[in-house]
Amino acid sequence: MAHGPKPGFTRWLYTTNHKDIGSMYLWFSFAMFLLGGCMALVIRAELFQPGLQIVQPDFFNQMTTMHGLIMVFGAVMPAFVGLANWMVPMMIGAPDMALPRMNNWSFWILPFAFAMLASTLFMEGGAPNFGWTFYAPLSTEYAPPSVTFFIFAIHIMGASSIMGAINIVATILNMRAPGMTLMKMPLFVWTWLITAYLLIAVMPVLAGVVTMMLMDIHFGTSFFSAAGGGDPVLFQHVFWFFGHPEVYIMILPAFGIVSAIIPTFARKPLFGYSSMVYATASIAFLSFIVWAHHMFTVGMPIAGELFFMYATMLIAVPTGVKVFNWVTTMFRGSMTFETPMLFSIAFVILFTLGGFSGLMLAIAPADFQYHDTYFVVAHFHYVLVPGAIFSITAGVYYWLPKWTGNMYNETMGKVHFWMAFVGLNVTFFPMHFVGLAGMPRRIPDYALQFADFNQIASVGAFLFGAAQIVFLFNVIRTVKGGKKATDEVWENPEGLEWSVPSPAPYHTFSTPPVVR
Amino acid sequence: MSLSANAKTTAKLLTLAVGMLGFALFIMPPLYDAFCEITGLNGKTGGRYEAVPAAVDTERTVKVQFVASHNENMPWEFKPDTVEIRVHPGEAVDTVFHARNPTDRDMIGQAIPSLVPFKAASYFHKTECFCFNQQALAAGESAELGLRFIVDPDLPAGVNTITLSYTLFDVTERIAKQANNKNTDSEREG
């Protein structure tokens, strides 16, 4: 039954092929990345100068809200699912995902969810304007009417994530080639297995919290309404019970990608493989018991503040294990600096930086000063942009020759890297300073003394945006043609995915490979 | 590899997902309420208290302060009769709040208590309180709202001042909506 893809558009509609679905996820996520990026540029353009120049405050709030939602749920998460679709079966020697039809379904409901979410921009009263964290009662009593569409969009993307996660777990647990024991799996597979469990555990909680909002808004319940005996603080607890594991959902697969790339270009095996696995598992476990560090200022007993403070700081231990392992892998390796490696090294350095500002925020008494300032914005952009986005980019450059059979343009890749690296730091580094100086987040206008740093940040943002156009151009060129890639692509890379021809045939491992 | 292995895994994971949804919807809110009730978190005070005979601790005096505010959409006038009372733990004390509906429509209000310090919340007992019920005031009507409370003699030492705050909410529409929902429900059943 060796046959290729169906011709025509229906190939994409009806496909159950993990490679097709992976590609669709990746393209979809890139489209959402550009859309969310444009919103970020509206924000940065408005903040170029103090005062109101371009947009009104309400629209500004819609932009910050939609930027956050689209980047988290539309760009980062689908990109990781796309990479998992492409790579997990090839890495474990499986012919396809375990549940191919559900795979198709879990992708194809996403465009509808985001079409619905984006359509709220054109509705009466505007799009959701209550921040991506949609705290009640801002998102219930004071919300624009479009909030109902937002709720259903979240329901659909939650269903999509859960189906995707179930599929990945089933694939990893049941479809491994003979001899591929759990502790022989590449780290990308391991991190995704753990991420998938996190998704299955917390996406229903997100669905639950928006359902409670829906009930409060339309059916007269009072989960979050003090007037009816509810409590808005309950919202924050339920939301962050989802929200904190969610931030690890966006970073654990990144750890896996970087753990695949660094050994290849350092030409040394990964240092401390099993400690990496255990560190990932510990981070996942800890993510469930630290949620209230997002709400230190909400009013908590001192015992609570202390517990969440220490538990949060504890996360630095397994994360530090990982960082030291990556550094040790590079130590005395014969390193070369191709584009995927550049992005991975930047990941290690900048993610560590973001981790350190996270430690600062974890100190409960200090957090009262930093809470809701640009320092927080700087922190989470430092962990998400060089963390999630850079690792995805690195992964795309690393595996693109395997997917397309062509080498990408290395010079253009390096140009992309340096533009993105400089742009990112110019954008987000000054935010630390304005944050510490007291500039609150989510404001369209600001006090004059923050003007210089904000101008610098805005310039950096446009540079970072331009870098992504170079990326898009490079990828399209590589898909269309270019220097042929060898089957191995890199010098002695580890993993089953390099044992199949480049480009990877439509069906791989129809007969299971032999794992040493 | 077999279909049944995948089906089994899927079934288990689906159960986990549905379980977590149930956890978020049906367990977390009551758990949070219970947690607040035990710890006094968020200053939630308990419901109606059955007075038990207890010795009045005349040695100790505690200041009880009253704060009355209303939600921004609530036009009623609302204030405590006395701003501060000195009480002995164990004695039952009566006080009143004044409320007036200055608008030209009939409205229903609901007062929500909150108490600081949080650790005193479970030692402040209300035997009667207007906050146990909704208050309906016709247009222009005013009312005296009664409160009878006992400060528990076991109140932790070091707590000398208790501040009880009431926020008044307009629940007219909420009540109407609930009544509507009930009507449609009964129509559906009938």
Instruction: Indicate whether A506 belongs to any domain.
Output: no
pLDDT in tens, A187-212: 999 999 999 999 999 999 999 999 99
A239 touches chain B (CB under 8 A): no
Mean pLDDT of chain A, nearest integer: 95
Report whether pLDDT(B3) > 70.
Answer: no
CA distance A265 to chain B (A): 34
Residue environment code for A38-57, b if the CB has 16+ CB neighbours within 10 A, otherwise e: ebbbbbbbbbbbbeeeebee
The set of residues, in sequence order, having a beta carbon less than 8 Å from that of A405 and lying 6+ positions away, is: A484, A485, A501, A502, A503
- Span A464-487, average pLDDT: 95
B172 touches chain A (CB under 8 A): no
Instruction: Indicate whether B181 belongs to any domain.
Output: no
pTM: 0.89
Residue A128, pLDDT score: 95
Contacts of B29 in chain A (CB under 8 A): 212, 223, 230, 234, 238
pLDDT in tens, B79-94: 898 899 999 998 888 9
Instruction: Indicate whether A188 belongs to any domain.
Output: yes
Is the same domain home to B102 and B77? Answer: yes
**A325 or A3, which is more confident?**
A325
Instruction: Indicate whether A12 belongs to any domain.
Output: no
Round to whole Å and give the CA distance between A344 and A133.
29
Comparing alpha-carbon positions, the chain A residue that sits nearest to B179 is A220
Residue B122, pLDDT score: 82
Instruction: Indicate whether A258 belongs to any domain.
Output: yes
Contact yes or no for B6 and A209 at CB 8 A: no
Is the same domain home to B25 and B97? Answer: no
Range scoring the smallest mean pLDDT among A451-465, B40-54, B134-148: B40-54
Instruction: Indicate whether B30 belongs to any domain.
Output: yes
Which is the catalytic residue, given A18, A44, A244, A432? Answer: A244
Q: Is the separation of the CB atoms in A209 and A263 below 8 Å?
A: no
Q: How distant, in Å, are the alpha carbons of A260, A342, A398, A472 from that of A339? A: 14, 5, 8, 15
Instruction: Indicate whether B171 belongs to any domain.
Output: yes
Instruction: Indicate whether B187 belongs to any domain.
Output: no
pLDDT in tens, A151-181: 999 999 999 999 999 999 999 999 999 999 9
CATH number for position B123: 2.60.370.10
Is the same domain home to B35 and B50? Answer: no
Residue A424 belongs to domain spanning: 22-499
pLDDT band at B109 (very low <50, low <70, confident <90, very high): confident
E strand or H helix that includes residue B144: strand B142-151
Instruction: Indicate whether B188 belongs to any domain.
Output: no
Instruction: Indicate whether B61 belongs to any domain.
Output: yes
Which is the catalytic residue, given A18, A44, A176, A293? Answer: A293
Residue B123 belongs to domain spanning: 42-176
Comparing alpha-carbon positions, the chain B residue that sits nearest to A163 is B14
CA distance B60 to chain A (A): 26
Report whether pLDDT(A2) > 90.
Answer: no
Residue B189, pLDDT score: 43
| Total H helices, total E strands in chain B | 3, 9
Contact yes or no for A205 and B174 at CB 8 A: no
Which is the catalytic residue, given A106, A191, A319, A508? Answer: A319
CATH number for position A192: 1.20.210.10
CB atoms within 10 A of CB A480: 9
pLDDT band at B188 (very low <50, low <70, confident <90, very high): very low
pLDDT in tens, A345-366: 999 999 999 999 999 999 999 9
Instruction: Indicate whether B186 belongs to any domain.
Output: no
pLDDT band at A1 (very low <50, low <70, confident <90, very high): very low
**B114 or A129, which is more confident?**
A129
Contacts of A169 in chain B (CB under 8 A): 9, 13
Is the same domain home to B10 and B91? Answer: no
**A490 or B172, which is more confident?**
A490
The letter for the amino acid at A169 is: V
Comparing alpha-carbon positions, the chain A residue that sits nearest to B29 is A234
Instruction: Indicate whether B184 belongs to any domain.
Output: no
Which is the catalytic residue, given A132, A135, A197, A273? Answer: A132
- Total domain count, chain A: 1
pLDDT in tens, A224-263: 988 777 889 999 999 999 999 999 999 999 999 999 999 9
Size of the A and B interface in Cβ pairs below 8 Å:
104
Is the same domain home to B22 and B52? Answer: no
Residue B170, pLDDT score: 84
pLDDT in tens, A20-58: 999 999 999 999 999 999 999 999 999 999 999 999 999
Report whether pLDDT(B187) > 80.
Answer: no
Is the same domain home to B31 and B101? Answer: no
B149 beta partners: B93, B126
CA distance B8 to chain A (A): 9
Instruction: Indicate whether A510 belongs to any domain.
Output: no
pLDDT band at B183 (very low <50, low <70, confident <90, very high): low
Is the same domain home to B18 and B101? Answer: no
Is the same domain home to B79 and B31? Answer: no
**A299 or A129, which is more confident?**
A129
- Total domain count, chain B: 2
- Span A259-276, average pLDDT: 96
Residue B42, pLDDT score: 67
Is the same domain home to B73 and B61? Answer: yes
Contact yes or no for B1 and A175 at CB 8 A: yes
**B145 or A471, which is more confident?**
A471
Interface test with B, best of A173, A239, A307 (most B CBs within 10 A): A173
Is the same domain home to B8 and B90? Answer: no
Is the same domain home to B160 and B101? Answer: yes
pLDDT band at A423 (very low <50, low <70, confident <90, very high): very high
Round to whole Å and give the CA distance between B177 and A220.
6
